[in-house]
Structure 1
């Protein structure tokens, strides 16, 4: 029996099935079915945790099939993959089939893998919650203690010092100081930064550092849903409010009452929905779609965006009054390429987490692998690093150190940079005496020139107006003589 998480892929296109199985087979125990009859046969005999079903099927639609799956096997996480994004299909899928996520074609292999891993985690959390519910019925006091311990553990996981991994002089220190300063005060916060920089992690740190820490924390990606569905998700709806609304639905604002709502990609919401959100924030009350009564809510709103909202306001695409309502505090998260010294620490932490999740252990990374990870610019930031580490762990054949040979080709072929340039570039020039600051600045200038000129001391001395003897004396004074230059190795295709 395979130890990999079991998933079922249903698609009438054989080539699509084979492509998905080939790509995912290293990380998942992939079962495939070209029609719903065979799919049900597999469900009868195998312990499936996630179903990925194509929407356009010859016998019944993907949503119709997943509706029947929901009735028979409600614990399985259900997902639709489709080249079409009709809003009614999305609404029907969420309300009737309990769809966890829509995946649009063409899909990216790493993104698909990440979504499936999240779905597997959801399946297993649901199972744990079911067991916890049984405990609460059988032994309420014991279960209450377990829940409280888990909440305390969560709070520690998102602590500003223990939960946000960074080196002693990381640019993230200023971010964590801002988060710690803002967290106790019940004001809205906007988190800015590129995708994958950890804005949700920062939002959770704000929540668990606040007085609301033992209340709900809920997340909504505002850029993933059309207006009607987003309004339904946030504010709720009454039965019959729109096609497919077969029962009352409580919105996230009500579910998070007393806690925190995290609105990711806030810059993507339409002007029409901006008006509705502004009213809710001003009045602190929601009215479900199709409802006639408003309901009071008490939530703290944390919003996140990878856009420059000030520019969006000036361009008229984002309401100024909503912006100022949300921007009680502004905190920017730097991209991973600006905190290269944190990469090795993050990679080690991600490896430990991935080992627990995947049930596979590795002792760490080789030095050359860490250097290569530190050299790569990580356009996808921490999320891309997480994907890379997970793929390296999955590909590893033993439990030893993970090396360059396990990396994806793009990252393995990255030219390396000088490690000191990557880690010390953010030296603090605002601390110490005037002499200390001048020395730090001079050391930075000399180091940068050496790196740029490939450690050619004659050319560096000429550029800086120094003699070779004078340059060597300064290098010894600042410890630059001890730096090892790492030359890139040729990677075989």
Structure 2
């Protein structure tokens, strides 16, 4: 590693020798006994720090530093003097632009520290100059790269890239989003948790006229009013306990773009008034500030509640509802589009394989069938968690049905989740014998799947003989999927 270079200038050889001995262990030291030799060395070598005595016969240290400053402005300049007249110090600062003024007698450790800091300052200035040059030279390249990133984002949230089957009910939703996106109108997305409301909110943004501007999201139901007000509208320093710095709110951060307000149905009635005022006036006032700031944002809100019922029962303001619901889009739950489960599961698995670096070939036919039968009350989010868990637990190249959670294996033929032994809705009205047999068939199938259709192990768990188990399987027509 190249050592920093230092030039010592002093007409007294003994002083030069003393300085050189102290600095030589860390620095590449050059020495000159007069200003003219010093300038010759500076013309030939790259010097980072110049240290000069003030009182010299041909030229003072300040005069030398003034010449150095003119010809080599990037060098750090240090004066050493046994005289501490204020006039000399002021002259050195004004004319020579000196980095440090050291008075005699000086301490070796203090001298080393000053020179180290000076070298670091020069290096930082040099790096800054190189970065500025690089930024200037690559400005167009950066703009092109940003344009590529924006195009990639638009592709990621293109409506055609949303995973679904050709006959999915989600096709109609995507067509509706495509018609709405070009128009600057507020949108209210409704649907159960985990159905992908934020994904569609991003699709609205990136397929609309604000695609090149920011998209910001906030779960409005996850925090108390004061914190939510601070998050959305910002605050000034000292506005409340804990406000150690000023904060720009999300409405200002999203200026020109889109703000996504998730779980809007959870907001208190008191905060609904403040939000309504912002939407009406297109202005925000940070907590602790007297100045209002104009914002231009598109608002996309989402909820899993029935806001019309909430309005009737007085828990949601009617005027705020109509500000948010310029267009209302409902996203059906996963249980209403079972044909989407398999393609969504395959996409989730592909992403999980990449993230976890654990390759598998896919799902077994039986595992896919079990997933299609389950109701997925947590929708896509629950499906994602289940697939990631299966991948982590898997020991082979295929994700088999026995890796599924037992609650999924207990799902009945009508796709309803069954959490306890009770008659399923699809056999309601049947005789007691029919209901008991349906329940027995479900228990048998779940047990066999968990044991990978090992009949000996399943029979042992159920307290049956192999012959008795085989008879029941034949009776109910249970075979591996």
Residue 321 (1) aligns with residue 319 (2): yes
Task: Select the structure of larger CA radius of gyration.
Answer: 2
Q: How many residues align?
A: 298
Partner of 1:152 in structure 2? Answer: 151
Deviation at residue 165 of structure 1 after TM alignment: 1.0
- State the distance in 2 between where 1:388 and 1:137 align: 49
- State the distance in 2 between where 1:237 and 1:281 align: 18
Deviation at residue 413 of structure 1 after TM alignment: 3.3
- State the distance in 2 between where 1:229 and 1:263 align: 15
Residue 402 (1) aligns with residue 399 (2): yes
- State the distance in 2 between where 1:385 and 1:337 align: 11
Deviation at residue 275 of structure 1 after TM alignment: 0.6
Query: Residues 297 and 411 of structure 1: is their aligned pair in 2 closer, same or farther, counting only changes over 3 Å?
Result: same
1:181-231 deviation per Cα after TM superposition (whole angstroms, max 9, x unaligned)? 111110000000011111101101111111111111100000101000000
Deviation at residue 488 of structure 1 after TM alignment: 7.6
Aligned to 1:262, the other structure's residue is in SS state strand
Q: 5+ unaligned residues in a row in structure 2: which ranges?
A: 1-133, 416-425, 429-441, 451-481
Cα root mean square deviation, aligned: 2.7
1:261-305 deviation per Cα after TM superposition (whole angstroms, max 9, x unaligned)? 000000111111101000100110100000010011010000000
1:390-429 deviation per Cα after TM superposition (whole angstroms, max 9, x unaligned)? 111111224x2211122122213333459xxxxxxxxxxx
- State the distance in 2 between where 1:370 and 1:490 align: 14
**Structure 1 residues 212-223: aligned runs within 5 Å:** 212-223=210-221
Query: Residues 373 and 226 of structure 1: is their aligned pair in 2 closer, same or farther, counting only changes over 3 Å?
Result: same
Q: 5+ unaligned residues in a row in structure 1: which ranges?
A: 1-134, 419-450, 454-485
Query: Residues 138 and 238 of structure 1: is their aligned pair in 2 closer, same or farther, counting only changes over 3 Å?
Result: farther
**Structure 1 residues 2-17: aligned runs within 5 Å:** none
1:97-149 deviation per Cα after TM superposition (whole angstroms, max 9, x unaligned)? xxxxxxxxxxxxxxxxxxxxxxxxxxxxxxxxxxxxxx968843333333322
TM-score normalised by structure 1 residue count = 0.57
Which of 424, 447, 460 is equivalent to 1:491?
Answer: 447
Query: Residues 377 and 136 of structure 1: is their aligned pair in 2 closer, same or farther, counting only changes over 3 Å?
Result: farther
Residue 140 (1) aligns with residue 139 (2): yes
Q: Check conservation: 1:236, 1:251, Cα contact below 8 A.
A: yes
Q: Check conservation: 1:416, 1:488, Cα contact below 8 A.
A: no
Partner of 2:178 in structure 1? Answer: 180
Q: Check conservation: 1:371, 1:416, Cα contact below 8 A.
A: no
Aligned to 1:414, the other structure's residue is in SS state coil
Partner of 1:232 in structure 2? Answer: 230
Aligned to 1:223, the other structure's residue is in SS state helix
Residue 312 (1) aligns with residue 310 (2): yes
Aligned to 2:205, the other structure's residue is in SS state helix
**Structure 1 residues 299-378: aligned runs within 5 Å:** 299-378=297-376
1:341-377 deviation per Cα after TM superposition (whole angstroms, max 9, x unaligned)? 1000000011111112222222211111111110110
- State the distance in 1 between where 2:375 and 2:295 align: 43
Q: Check conservation: 2:409, 2:446, Cα contact below 8 A.
A: no
Query: Residues 275 and 139 of structure 1: is their aligned pair in 2 closer, same or farther, counting only changes over 3 Å?
Result: same
Partner of 2:87 in structure 1? Answer: none
